[in-house]
């Protein structure tokens, strides 16, 4: 992250040029950082590269605007589980803490690099060389299932299924407090926050988003919490976390969206992709896969009453 008080020498300069000068990135990369909301002046998100800066303003650039490499190198040291593989698809069980693919601000170990080491044929699958075969992703702190396409035809089939909302994606989430209804739907558009470029938020200018939930259990000790099954109808960035926060039920351990850890021994959001179902790209049959809760989440549940 870059955090600078702008000197008099930069007074009146275009903000995209200032970002490039201070971070060492290109003007195009500076523009891309602005477009995704990663640049603020005095805590206000910059929306135009032509904006002129003033001496004394605080410029913050979240992450690293330098673009990820055009291609990624295989990394056999990356650890991840595989619950199914065939000629068309690979179903991965991703551990928490692993980033799915490179992006602005992250050039370290990724699932994509680990996949390439194990399945080199993925390099020609998909529409982006830094996301070989990857049709959807999980946040860094979220564990569980995602499907990777092994052929271009499988990739196109899965992208279409995601687009028409026919992929069955279910998650376990532990949230603060108790819900008034046993099941429900959160139907609220999600977009990037103008106040904080690292966050998403419910906003009228966002993209449509729907999350269905069901309460599986409620607990009172050591604090009131509820275990939910959440089913994604759409798949916006941080959708479950943002939607649950919007109804006052933030995910336990989710520091970004108000889910303080409180008395709970957890180092990441309690969110796990537990079930994944889709029409197999090879023969069209319905298939589904499940992943048990990992040890850190299971141990936390065991201590609730």
Task: Give 243-291 pLDDT, tens digit per residue.
Answer: 999 999 999 999 999 988 889 989 999 999 999 999 999 999 999 999 9
CA 86 to chain centre: 26
> Is the pLDDT confidence value at 219 over 70?
yes
* Preceding amide of 27 cis, omega within 30: no
Q: What is the pLDDT of residue 121?
A: 96
Share of the chain above pLDDT 90, in %: 75
Q: What is the pLDDT of residue 28?
A: 80
- Domain of residue 55: give its range: 2-61
Residue 149 — φ and ψ, nearest 5°? Answer: -85, 135
* Burial classification of residue 37, based on how many CB atoms lie within 10 Å of its CB (0-12 exposed, 13-18 middle, 19 or more buried): buried
| Lowest-pLDDT choice from 74-88, 122-136, 171-185 | 122-136
Q: What is the pLDDT of residue 37?
A: 85
> Is the pLDDT confidence value at 164 over 90?
yes
More confident residue, 210 or 63: 210
The structure tokens listed for 222 are: 């050591």
3 is known as an active-site residue: no
Claim to verify: residue 86 and residue 130 sit in the same structural domain: yes
Tally of domains within the chain: 3
Q: What is the pLDDT of residue 38?
A: 87
pLDDT average, residue stretch 78-91: 98
- Rounded to 5°, angle at Cα 203 from 200 and 205: 110
Claim to verify: residue 84 and residue 110 sit in the same structural domain: yes
pLDDT average, residue stretch 172-179: 97
Domain for residue 227, yes or no?
Answer: yes
Q: What is the pLDDT of residue 104?
A: 53
**CATH number, domain with residue 24:** 3.10.290.10
Q: Which entry of 64, 93, 139, 254 is annotated as an active-site residue?
A: 139
Claim to verify: residue 159 and residue 175 sit in the same structural domain: no
pLDDT in tens, 25-71: 888 888 888 888 889 999 999 988 999 999 999 999 987 676 656 67
pLDDT in tens, 89-124: 999 999 999 999 876 554 578 999 999 999 999 999
Which residue(s) pair with 200 in the sheet? 192
Claim to verify: residue 77 and residue 27 sit in the same structural domain: no
Domain for residue 281, yes or no?
Answer: no
SS (H, E, C) the chain: CEEEECCHHHCCCEHHHHHHHHHCCCHHHHHHHHHCCCEEECCEECCCCCCECCCCCEEEECCCCCCCCCCCCCCCCCCCEEEEECCCEEEEEECCCCECCCECCECCCEHHHHHHHHCHHHHHCCCCCCCCCECCCCCCCCEEEEEEECCHHHHHHHHHHHHCCCCEEEEEEEEECCCCCCEEEEECCEEECCCCCCCEEECCCCECCEEEEEEEEEECCCCCEEEEEEEECCCCCCHHHHHHHHCCCCECCCHHHCCCCCCCCCCCCCEEEEEEEEECCCCCCEEEEECCCCHHHHHHHHCCC
Claim to verify: residue 146 and residue 242 sit in the same structural domain: no
Claim to verify: residue 155 and residue 205 sit in the same structural domain: no
Mean pLDDT score of the chain: 92
Q: Whole-angstrom Cα distance, residue 2 to residue 23? A: 7
Q: What is the pLDDT of residue 275?
A: 98
274, 147 contact by CB (below 8 A): no
Q: What is the pLDDT of residue 197?
A: 60
Dihedral, 155, 69, 273, 148 alpha carbons, nearest 10:
20
Strands 225-232 and 210-219: antiparallel
**CATH number, domain with residue 78:** 3.30.2350.10
Domain for residue 151, yes or no?
Answer: yes
| Lowest-pLDDT choice from 65-74, 136-145, 195-204 | 65-74
Claim to verify: residue 143 and residue 180 sit in the same structural domain: no
Q: What is the pLDDT of residue 68?
A: 57
Claim to verify: residue 217 and residue 129 sit in the same structural domain: no
């Amino acid at each position: 992250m870059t955090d600078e008080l702008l000197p008099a020498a930069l007074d009146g300069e275009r903000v995209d040029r200032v970002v490039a000068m201070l971070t060492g990135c290109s003007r195009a990369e500076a523009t891309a950082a602005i477009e995704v909301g990663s640049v603020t002046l005095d805590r206000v998100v910059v929306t135009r590269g032509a904006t002129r800066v003033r001496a004394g303003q605080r410029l913050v650039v979240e992450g690293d605007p330098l673009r990820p490499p055009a291609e990624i190198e295989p990394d056999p040291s990356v650890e991840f589980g595989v619950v199914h593989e065939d000629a068309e698809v690979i179903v991965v069980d991703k551990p928490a803490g692993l980033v799915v693919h490179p992006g602005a601000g992250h050039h370290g170990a990724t699932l994509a690099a680990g996949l390439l080491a194990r399945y080199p044929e993925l390099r020609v699958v998909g529409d982006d060389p830094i996301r070989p075969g990857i049709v959807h992703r999980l946040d860094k702190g979220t564990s569980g299932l995602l499907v990777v396409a092994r052929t271009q035809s499988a990739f196109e089939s899965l992208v279409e299924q995601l687009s028409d909302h026919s992929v069955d994606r279910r998650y376990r989430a532990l949230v603060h407090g108790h819900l008034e209804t046993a099941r429900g739907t959160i139907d609220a558009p999600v977009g990037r926050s103008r106040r904080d470029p690292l966050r998403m938020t419910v906003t009228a200018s966002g993209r449509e988003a729907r999350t269905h939930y069901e309460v599986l259990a409620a607990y009172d000790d050591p604090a009131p919490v509820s275990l939910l099954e959440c089913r994604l109808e759409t798949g916006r960035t941080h959708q479950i976390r943002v939607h649950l926060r919007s109804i006052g039920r933030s995910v336990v351990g989710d520091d970004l969206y108000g889910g303080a850890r409180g008395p709970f021994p957890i180092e990441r959001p309690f969110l796990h992709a537990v079930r994944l179902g889709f029409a197999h790209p090879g023969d069209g049959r319905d298939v589904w896969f499940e992943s048990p809760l990992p040890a850190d989440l299971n141990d936390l549940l065991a201590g609730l009453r």
